[in-house]
């Protein structure tokens, strides 16, 4: 699996994403600077966590207009897999690749802790290595993770099985405890929890590694 | 000039403007006469500002330098000791740990969010200016009594500021401490520590070389925020602290993140000769520092400084403490290469001057020479005071028998009170606002544990770090308090299985012009010195924050110590949580029921009296080595140092962390044994008590078996308490107090 990590000014989990991708795929990940307009042809594009553009205006709002994002949207349209983690999820919503928006946590405070989640579907390339309904523990670290969308969108997401991860102990007030969703074609996933932070024994839990193992299984070329 | 108002000063008339400047900058008349001696003429406003900033307490350490010089700063592990922006220690395999601690006490009281945020920003810069990538942050916070009206808003603002800045730049916050005392009502303390990782033979300093080389300004634009920040930090608060709000700098973590990446990228090339971050007194201290270290002159054209506001005077530009700015000296021919890097990261880059051989700092503004001062005397003859000091009178020795369980209380009812008290309650409400995982190298965040542990990327090594100080001990006996602060970091680092290597310090004290306060400082330095020597644990960097007083009320002295240790194999790291049923609980060290200055005495009897617990440095060294060996050879399954609250609180913390009960039997049933705060102690659990006992006896280390882990209750001498209830009490105080 060939992967690219997009680096925006203010991204701070790009090096973490690179490390877990290389550990799981055994291949170097391409680090793509946001101002570049050409993306190498890869199987997976990863939008990492962080504070792109310092969260000015809205989280992810400015990054969504970076030159490289036009390329990411185009490739996603052609079916390339895209994974957005935390700030990456916010950028996917702001760029229209995913519906809805991430609002300020109801607690009005940044929250960083391990959160129990349920894997709602394993019929996706991102979660095929999980058991359906499996409960896992993946840490969150954000101030704006409160997922919101209008009623029809929520209904569609639930009806189509596009809710991939659901909080079992909601840390931010997200509607329907939504922690991660994918687009209707199933090739773009956005999730607030950080799977790369529970990917090796040092982390005390490796539930997050299964996301990357699922991707390698599905995209191994 | 109105002649009547002149007053003579060294045979030269003082103009009213200068008179006003002297008062505004807390400069005393003798210092002004030294200034005149150097300049041989009246200073311009900008020159006066340069002298006042460089000679402020904050920058010159004039009241403390004499004593700080006595601290041990060398050892085989020390690559660079005090004098540079941060200390550098060797951690093997060509790598170095770079670290320091700094305070933003005054700004954080005036404007909690920005004051604390810029404290984090400033200490980060001190570390990456040496060429190190910051890999961990810690902080030590001291707030007023919870009953004081300002305390809650200060906590909310300071914690949000530290989190807001640290989380955004992507450096994990992995440890720290928070305590409350009425003496901080008008003067809270915010100390921030950063640990970075560098290539041992690519450490950068501020020593400028090469006459004619370009001096380059990079980072944010300069504004009027933080002007006179250094001098404000060197004066007592008076009632109208609010009016000093403009002197508090404003931080932008987004720009700092760009600055970190850009500077590290540049320092990876061959372009850099010297680099200095702009901290206290901004451009003034960084330019003077560079010139002085390089024994050169420096010429700056202030018109070239990127400005955020119009019509800024030379004074304002030289003394602004706008954040996220660095000064570089580049090798000739590398200017374009450097500029491209800063353009990529969308940061300002401007060549604002050059090095000269005049040995003077010369600054031009609108073509006019506004500053022309010889560097050496400006730096060398900054005042040094040997201020009079009075040692703290000895406290009475208390007898634990006089402070048995109060009427109607049992050992476990007291435990419920203590684990739910402000000083010992859970700090989760605070540290859950800090990102402790970013970087994915965090093996353990010291949230309730003993030390933060961060893996050295790409290796199986890890750095362990801890910040500690017990101000009530230091108040009662500064020498013992200084020793105890060093010893507690030594214990916390040993308790996770790492070898303590070196420390940084943040000396928070009241007004040094008062002999009793100066005596506290002198005593603390003496205690720190003794502990560092005895434990082979030198000081490699530090910071002083004095004049922490409001309306003449001084703080409890807080010589905070930040320790760093090395763990050869992170897979062997120990944590405090009970790991399984039926394991023996053993205390290492002597239990002498020392009740003086204990939390038990304060919470149950409302007394802050008595001699603090004595520190036996030989025992600290021997017990630390013994515990590290137990961890390395996997003899024990959990380890926790015994500190605030004493033995029973330490065991309760281990039970709560592991969500596992225990059954204890004490040799005696008195409060002194369980709540005394004797030092050099650890609690460990083991599946093989006989092996542990045999080893302790051969090592000559005192020990005592206290009981076994297991079940869901916390049982002591037959009295039982549900662990869930204990956890509820422990977790509830802070969220209830903060009203969330």
Segment B370-385, tens digit of pLDDT: 999 999 999 988 888 9
| Chain B contact present for A106, CB below 8 A | no
pLDDT in tens, A86-122: 999 999 999 999 999 999 999 999 999 999 999 999 9
- In 3D, which of B709, B690, B682, B668 has the Cα closest to residue B584? B709
Mark whether A112 is an active-site residue: no
Instruction: Quote the distance between the C-alpha of residue B530 and its chain's center.
Output: 20
Whole-number Å distance between alpha carbons of B178 and B510? 19
For position B3, what pLDDT does the model report? 41
| Chain B contact present for A203, CB below 8 A | yes
Residue of B nearest to A106 (CA): B740
Q: Which of B345, B436, B441 sits opposite A9 (nearest CB)?
A: B345
pTM reported for the whole predicted model: 0.95
Whole-number Å distance between alpha carbons of A166 and A180? 7
| Catalytic pick among A86, A93, A142, A144 | A86
Q: Which of A16, A51, A56 sits opposite B440 (nearest CB)?
A: A16
| Chain B contact present for A201, CB below 8 A | yes
What tokens does B592 get? 């002498």
| CB-based contact A202 B253, cutoff 8 Å | no
User: What does the CA dihedral B140, B145, B147, B151 come to, rounded to 10 degrees?
Assistant: -40
Residue of A nearest to B162 (CA): A110
Q: What is the DSSP string of B463-507?
A: EEEEEE--HHHHHH-HHHHHHHHHHHHHHHHHHHT-EEEEEEEEE
Residue of A nearest to B460 (CA): A202
| CB-based contact B441 A51, cutoff 8 Å | no
| CB-based contact B438 A51, cutoff 8 Å | no
CA-based nearest distance B438→chain A, Å:
7
| CB-based contact A10 B258, cutoff 8 Å | yes
Residue pair B151/B354 in contact (Cβ under 8 Å)? The answer is no
Whole-number Å distance between alpha carbons of B142 and B165? 19
3 state DSSP class of B633: coil
Whole-number Å distance between alpha carbons of B428 and B145? 19
Residue of A nearest to B455 (CA): A202
- In 3D, which of B386, B379, B383 has the Cα closest to residue B34? B383
pLDDT in tens, A124-164: 999 999 999 999 999 999 999 999 999 999 999 999 999 99
Q: Which of B168, B443, B570 sits opposite A51 (nearest CB)?
A: B168
| CB-based contact B435 A109, cutoff 8 Å | no
**Which whole-number Å values give the CA distances from B382 to A12, A32, B42, in the listed order?**
42, 51, 18
Q: Which of A54, A139, A200 sits opposite B254 (nearest CB)?
A: A54
| Chain B contact present for A54, CB below 8 A | yes
Give the DSSP letter of residue A54: G
Q: Which of A112, A145, A198, A206 to mutate to test the interface with B (most CBs of B within 10 A)?
A: A112
| CB-based contact A10 B257, cutoff 8 Å | yes
Number of alpha carbons in the 13 Å side-chain half-sphere of residue B398: 25
Residue A39 region, left (φ>0) first, then alpha (ψ -120 to 50), else beta?
Answer: beta
For position B6, what pLDDT does the model report? 45
Q: Which of B254, B258, B343, B577 to mutate to test the interface with A (most CBs of A within 10 A)?
A: B254
Residue of A nearest to B440 (CA): A197
Mark whether A93 is an active-site residue: no
What tokens does B44 get? 């311009």
| CB-based contact A197 B440, cutoff 8 Å | yes
Q: Which of A112, A194, A202 sits opposite B434 (nearest CB)?
A: A112
| Chain B contact present for A139, CB below 8 A | yes
Greatest CA separation for chain B: 89
| CB-based contact A139 B437, cutoff 8 Å | yes
Q: Which of A7, A11, A12, A108 to mutate to test the interface with B (most CBs of B within 10 A)?
A: A12
Residue A85 has pLDDT above 50, yes or no: yes
User: What does the CA dihedral B419, B420, B426, B428 come to, rounded to 10 degrees?
Assistant: 160
Chain B hits for A12, Cβ within 8 Å: 168-170, 257, 438
| Chain B contact present for A57, CB below 8 A | no
3 state DSSP class of B618: helix
Residue length of chain B: 740
Residue of B nearest to A87 (CA): B168
Between A and B, how many CB-CB pairs are < 8 A? Answer: 82
| CB-based contact A197 B437, cutoff 8 Å | yes
A93-122 as b/e, with b when 16 or more CB fall inside 10 Å? bbbebbbbbbbebeeebbbbbbbebbbbbb
CA-based nearest distance B730→chain A, Å:
18
CA-based nearest distance B433→chain A, Å:
5
Query: What is the 3-class SS of B255-272, one letter each residue?
Result: HHHHHHHHHHHHHCCCCE
Residue of A nearest to B575 (CA): A204
| CB-based contact A12 B436, cutoff 8 Å | no
Whole-number Å distance between alpha carbons of A173 and B76? 53
Residue of A nearest to B432 (CA): A112
| CB-based contact B168 A54, cutoff 8 Å | yes
| CB-based contact B436 A56, cutoff 8 Å | no
What tokens does B115 get? 């004051």
Residue pair B733/B419 in contact (Cβ under 8 Å)? The answer is no
Residue of B nearest to A20 (CA): B440
- In 3D, which of B153, B56, B158 has the Cα closest to residue B547? B56
Residue pair B195/B99 in contact (Cβ under 8 Å)? The answer is yes
CA-based nearest distance B435→chain A, Å:
6
CA-based nearest distance B164→chain A, Å:
8
**Which whole-number Å values give the CA distances from B189 to A78, B103, B104, B225, B447, in the listed order?**
56, 7, 7, 21, 19
List chain B residues with pLDDT less than 50: 1-6
| CB-based contact A51 B257, cutoff 8 Å | yes
Whole-number Å distance between alpha carbons of B711 and B714? 8
Q: Where are the alpha helices (DSSP H) in B362-477?
A: 375-380, 411-419, 428-431, 471-476
| CB-based contact B439 A16, cutoff 8 Å | yes
Q: Which of A21, A35, A109 to mutate to test the interface with B (most CBs of B within 10 A)?
A: A109
Q: Which of B258, B433, B438 sits opposite A109 (nearest CB)?
A: B433
Whole-number Å distance between alpha carbons of B297 and B290? 9
């Amino acid at each position: 699996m060939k992967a690219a990590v997009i680096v925006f000014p203010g991204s701070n989990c790009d090096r973490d994403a690179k490390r877990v991708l290389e550990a799981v795929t055994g291949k170097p990940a391409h680090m793509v600077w946001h101002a570049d307009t050409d993306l190498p042809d890869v199987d997976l594009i990863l939008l990492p966590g962080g504070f792109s553009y310092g969260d000015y205006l809205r989280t992810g709002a400015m990054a969504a207009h970076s030159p490289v994002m036009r390329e990411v949207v185009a490739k996603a349209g052609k079916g390339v897999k895209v994974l957005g983690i935390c700030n990456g999820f916010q950028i996917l919503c702001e760029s229209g690749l995913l519906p809805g928006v991430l609002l300020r946590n109801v607690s009005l405070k940044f929250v960083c802790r391990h959160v129990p989640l349920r894997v709602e579907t394993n019929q996706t390339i991102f979660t095929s290595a999980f058991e359906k309904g499996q409960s896992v523990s993946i840490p969150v670290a954000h101030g704006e993770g409160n997922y919101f969308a209008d009623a029809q969108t929520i209904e569609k997401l639930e009806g189509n099985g596009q809710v991939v991860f659901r909080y079992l102990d909601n840390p931010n007030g997200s509607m329907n405890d939504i922690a991660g969703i994918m687009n209707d074609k199933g090739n773009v996933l956005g999730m607030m929890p950080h799977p790369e932070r529970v990917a090796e024994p040092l982390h005390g839990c490796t539930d997050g590694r299964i996301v990357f193992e699922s991707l390698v299984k599905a995209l191994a070329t | 000039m109105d002649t009547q108002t002149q007053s003579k000063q060294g045979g030269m008339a003082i103009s009213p403007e200068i008179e006003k400047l002297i008062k505004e900058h807390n400069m005393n008349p003798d210092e002004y006469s030294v200034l005149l001696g150097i300049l041989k003429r009246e200073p311009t406003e900008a020159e006066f500002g340069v002298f006042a900033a460089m000679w402020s307490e904050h920058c010159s350490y004039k009241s403390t330098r004499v004593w700080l010089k006595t601290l041990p700063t060398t050892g085989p592990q020390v690559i660079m000791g005090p004098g540079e922006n941060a200390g550098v220690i060797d951690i093997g395999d060509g790598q170095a740990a770079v670290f320091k601690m700094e305070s933003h006490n005054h700004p954080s009281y005036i404007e909690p969010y920005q004051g604390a945020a810029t404290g984090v920003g400033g200490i980060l810069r001190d570390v990456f200016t040496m060429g190190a990538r910051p890999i961990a942050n810690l902080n030590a916070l001291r707030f007023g009594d919870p009953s004081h009206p300002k305390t809650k808003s200060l906590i909310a603002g300071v914690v949000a500021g530290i989190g807001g800045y640290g989380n955004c730049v992507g450096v994990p916050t992995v440890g720290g401490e928070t305590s409350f005392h009425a003496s901080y009502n008008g003067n809270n303390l915010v100390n921030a520590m950063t640990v970075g990782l560098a290539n041992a033979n690519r450490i950068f300093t501020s020593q400028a070389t090469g006459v004619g080389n370009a001096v380059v300004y990079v980072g944010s634009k300069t504004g009027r925020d933080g002007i006179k920040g250094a001098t404000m930090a060197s004066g007592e608060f008076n009632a109208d602290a609010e009016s000093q709000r403009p002197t508090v700098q404003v931080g932008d973590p987004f720009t700092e993140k760009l600055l970190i990446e850009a500077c590290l990228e540049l320092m990876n090339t061959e372009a850099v000769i010297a680099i200095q971050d702009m901290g206290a007194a901004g451009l003034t201290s960084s330019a003077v520092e560079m010139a002085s270290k390089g024994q050169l002159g420096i010429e700056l054209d202030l018109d070239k400084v990127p400005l955020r506001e119009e019509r800024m005077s030379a004074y304002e530009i030289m003394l602004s403490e706008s954040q996220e700015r660095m000064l570089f000296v580049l090798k000739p021919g590398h200017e374009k290469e450097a500029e491209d890097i800063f353009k990529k990261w969308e940061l300002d880059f401007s060549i604002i001057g050059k090095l000269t051989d005049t040995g003077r700092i010369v600054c031009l503004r609108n073509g006019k020479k506004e500053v022309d001062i010889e560097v050496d005397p400006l730096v060398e003859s900054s005042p040094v005071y040997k201020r009079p000091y009075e040692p703290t009178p000895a406290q009475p020795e208390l007898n634990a028998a006089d402070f048995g369980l109060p009427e109607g209380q049992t050992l476990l009812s007291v435990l419920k009170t203590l684990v739910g008290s402000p000083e010992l309650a859970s700090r989760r409400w605070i540290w859950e606002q800090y990102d402790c995982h970013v970087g994915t190298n965090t093996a353990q965040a010291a949230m309730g544990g003993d030390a933060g542990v961060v893996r050295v990327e790409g290796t199986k090594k890890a750095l362990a770090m801890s910040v500690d100080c017990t101000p009530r001990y230091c108040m009662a006996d500064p020498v013992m308090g200084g020793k105890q602060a060093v010893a507690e970091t030594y214990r916390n680092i040993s308790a996770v299985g790492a070898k303590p290597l070196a420390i940084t310090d943040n000396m928070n004290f009241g007004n040094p012009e008062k002999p009793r306060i100066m005596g506290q400082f002198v005593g603390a330095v003496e205690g720190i010195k003794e502990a560092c020597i005895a434990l082979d644990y030198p000081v490699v960097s530090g910071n002083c924050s004095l004049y922490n007083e409001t309306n003449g009320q001084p703080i409890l002295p807080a010589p905070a110590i930040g320790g760093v240790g090395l763990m050869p194999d992170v897979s062997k790291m120990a944590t405090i949580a009970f790991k399984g049923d039926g394991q023996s609980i053993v205390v290492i060290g002597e239990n002498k029921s020392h009740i003086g200055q204990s939390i038990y005495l304060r919470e149950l009897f409302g007394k802050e009296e008595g001699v603090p617990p004595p520190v036996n440095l030989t025992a600290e060294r021997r017990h630390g080595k013994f515990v590290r060996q137990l961890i390395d050879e996997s003899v024990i399954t959990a380890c926790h140092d015994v500190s605030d609250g004493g033995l029973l609180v330490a065991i309760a913390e281990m039970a709560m962390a592991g969500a596992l009960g225990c059954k204890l039997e004490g040799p005696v049933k008195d409060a002194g044994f369980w709540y005394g705060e004797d030092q050099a102690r650890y609690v460990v659990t083991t599946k093989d008590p006989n092996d542990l006992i045999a080893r302790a006896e051969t090592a000559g280390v005192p020990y005592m078996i206290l009981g076994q882990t297991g079940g869901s209750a916390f049982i002591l001498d037959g009295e039982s308490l549900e662990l869930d209830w204990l956890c509820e009490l422990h977790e509830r105080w802070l969220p209830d107090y903060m009203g969330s």
